[in-house]
Amino acid sequence: MNQIPVTVLTGYLGAGKTTLLNRILTEQHGKKYAVVVNEFGEIGIDNDLVVNADEEVFEMNNGCICCTVRGDLIRILGGLMKRQGSFDGILIETTGLADPAPVAQTFFVDEDVRRRTWLDSIVTVVDARHVVQRLEDSHEALEQIAFADVILLNKTDLVSADELAQVERRIRSINATAIIHRTQRCEVDLAAVLGRRAFDLDRILAIEPNFLSEDDHEHDDAVKSVCLRTDRPLDGARLTGWLQRMLAERGQDLLRTKGILSIAGQDKQFVVQAVHMLMEGNFTKPWDPNENRESRLVFIGRNIDGTELRQQFDACIA
């Protein structure tokens, strides 16, 4: 049975998420999507593959408050998989007030979901006018940006060029690795949003990490990115030991962790990704013998200290 790609669509109320959803469902792109929505009737078109979700967030039995999954989603994805071959992908819309972690963690935790689907990307629609204010008063708005693989910075026509640059800088300070598209009315090539394999993390290698300016003001609940890199190979055992310890101890503060790492004595790239304390690490494709085997690791989270992480990362160099 083929694995189906899943795109998660998040965004604060009024940012333009429904506009994007309607575009994906009405435009001719040769693909059919099953859509999991939280409110029927919000999308204006008739599609027999629209499913209403309850957003039932369940704690897992390990007693940890950050280890949650979407119970309704596990059920819905199981049901959709019985409609063989009738769609090419799945879109999951979350409410504006939803924390994306339980959705993302569902794809780590549930074996049936993992076997049948893969999380292609988390797309967050952001209102350029209001996002800075939202970030001050909404925990969820912050998490939605922190979790994103792709960000549509929407309604750019309603702000000045200076304001836009400022907004983008603020977003970047939270999430260093997301691809940002500036849009009006969510007008973006849908190929930039769908079928990205963003969770594969290849593009971390393309990130320019020097954008974080030192004078960014710190917020009480500041979420930021720390990007680490090295040209020297890493000791596999030390690295995984450190990551496991980090995620077990600090997992509630660490929203997302992603990395492509060069392990001493290994020809293949070691790709790591985590949501809170749930981690997945695999050797994937071989390093190109002509390329520089540069390891990159990004932490997005709260209360994280770049200097301390850098020291611990360096201690893993073989």
Of 28 and 40, the one with the shorter C-beta distance to other proteins is 40
Q: Cα dist. 243→33, 110, 114, 255 in Å?
A: 36, 22, 22, 14
Using rule CB under 5 A, residue 194 touches Zn ion: no
Q: Pick between residue 34 and residue 272 the one whose CB is nearest to other proteins.
A: 34
Q: Would you say 12 or 33 has its CB closer to other proteins?
A: 33
The answer to whether 43 and 157 have CB atoms below 8 angstroms apart is: no
Residue 60 binding partner per list Zn ion, other proteins, none, with a CB distance cut-off of 5 to 8 Å that depends on partner kind: other proteins
Min dist. Cβ of residue 72 to other proteins (A): 6
Q: Tell which one of 5, 21, 72, 236 touches other proteins (CB under 8 A).
A: 72
Q: Which is nearer to Zn ion, 201 or 277 (CB)?
A: 277
> Which has the closest alpha carbon to 75: 55, 100, 97?
55
Residue closest to Zn ion (Cβ): 219
User: Which one of 65-73, 119-127, 151-159, 296-304 is the stretch in contact with other proteins (CB under 8 A)?
Assistant: 65-73
Q: Within 10 A of 268 (CB to CB), how many other CB atoms are there? A: 13
User: Which entry of other proteins, Zn ion, none binds 36, CB below 5 to 8 A by partner kind?
Assistant: none
What is the pairing mode between strands 89-93 and 223-230? Answer: unpaired
Structure tokens at 235: 């000791």
What are the percentages of helix, strand and coil residues in the chain, rounded to 5? 35, 30, 40
H helix and E strand count, the chain: 9, 14
Applying CB under 5 A, among 66, 90, 153, 254 the residue interacting with Zn ion is 66
Determine which residue in the list 111, 137, 189, 288 makes contact with other proteins, applying CB under 8 A: 111
Angle between helices 236-250 and 306-314 (to 10 degrees): 150
Single-letter code of the amino acid located at 35: V
β pairing state of 268-275 and 254-261: antiparallel
Which residues bind to Zn ion, rule: CB under 5 A? 64, 66-67, 219, 277
Which residues bind to other proteins, rule: CB under 8 A? 1, 40, 48, 51-52, 54, 56, 58-61, 69, 71-72, 74-76, 79-84, 110-112
